[in-house]
Amino acid sequence: MAAVKACNILITGANRGLGLETVKQLLEDSCPKRHIFATCRNPDGPKSEALRELAKKHPSVITIIRLDADDPCSIKESAEKVGSLLGNNGLNLLVNNAGILARGTIQTSSVESMKNTFSTNVIGPLLIIQEYLPYLKKAAKASGTPGMSCSKAAVINVSTVGGSISTMPSLFKQFPVLPYCVSKAGFNMLTVLAAEELKADEILCMALHPGWVKTELGGEKKPWMPHPAGELAIRTLQNH
């Protein structure tokens, strides 16, 4: 993580799993002006205890913000709050990490599971990009350097190989998680189109697959790709 120079970073789903691990690894970095907006849907709940502890230890670096990817009002409110804290500064890096997994096949997937996964994994990130775009644009303009990078202004969408149209068919029998895969395929398209639209503002948009990681979502089963927690994500951040 030492090469990540982004100052102002926002991460969704930062209270556990890969999101929390990303916050921890960013703290190991020696970027002096770093500020992390660690967002989660229930900052006061039991699942956010580890994040609260971390924020207590690093009060000048971490601010916990409520953001429910399933709730447009909370996304808007979070952006207003972050905007007031950023003041004249922009947001360098937005990490759309929050996500849910629902199991199912063509024959068993319910309307509810399709709607829920699409809402959290696709519509939420779209609204988050929309609300935070003014701050990303501000960071891009303020950087004064040409080109695109995570240090300047970027959106990283934490996706999965499960959303790959070419890869997933061969894995589907082993991982019958159709609502998740369909939503992540949509998320990948969202990323590609965001990259296309926002390149004029020199905002980098990319999706990454973090590898199989033992989290609540990742589960305990045999790895698809045995990267240690977030390693690929971190490598990707370092290389941009």
Region of 7-15, 138-146, 171-179, 198-206 interacting with ligand NAP (CB under 6 A): 7-15
What is the DSSP secondary structure assignment for residue 123, as one 8-state letter?
I
Out of 109, 120, 149, 191, the residue judged to bind ligand NAP by CB under 6 A: 120
How many amino acids of this chain bind ligand NAP (CB under 6 A)? Answer: 29
Out of 25, 97, 109, 149, the residue judged to bind ligand NAP by CB under 6 A: 97
Q: State the residue for tokens 């939420």.
A: 124
Binding mask 184-223 for ligand NAP (x = CB under 6 A): -------------------------xx-xx-xxxx-----
Check binding of 163 to ligand NAP (CB under 6 A).
no
- HSE on the CB side for 115, CA within 13 Å? 3
Check binding of 19 to ligand NAP (CB under 6 A).
yes
Binding mask 54-73 for ligand NAP (x = CB under 6 A): --------------xxx---
Check binding of 28 to ligand NAP (CB under 6 A).
no
User: How far apart are alpha carbons 185 and 197 in whole angstroms?
Assistant: 18
- HSE on the CB side for 6, CA within 13 Å? 35
Q: Which of 105, 102, 107, 132 is nearest to 120 (CA)?
A: 102
**If 0-12 CB within 10 Å is exposed, 13-18 middle and 19+ buried, where does residue 76 land?**
middle
Check binding of 98 to ligand NAP (CB under 6 A).
yes
Q: Determine contact, residues 17/44, Cβ cutoff 8 Å.
A: no
User: How far apart are alpha carbons 226 and 236 in whole angstroms?
Assistant: 16
Is residue 231 helix, strand or coil?
helix
Q: Which residue is nearest to ligand NAP (CB)?
A: 17
CB closer to ligand NAP, 69 vs 198: 69
- From residue 57, alpha-carbon distances to 12, 50, 51, 65, 137 in Å are 20, 11, 10, 16, 31
Q: State the residue for tokens 């894995």.
A: 171
Check binding of 128 to ligand NAP (CB under 6 A).
no
Check binding of 90 to ligand NAP (CB under 6 A).
no
User: How far apart are alpha carbons 15 and 208 in whole angstroms?
Assistant: 20
Check binding of 154 to ligand NAP (CB under 6 A).
no
Check binding of 102 to ligand NAP (CB under 6 A).
no
Residues that bind ligand NAP (CB under 6 A): 12-13, 15-19, 40-42, 47, 68-70, 97-100, 120, 158, 160, 209-210, 212-213, 215-218
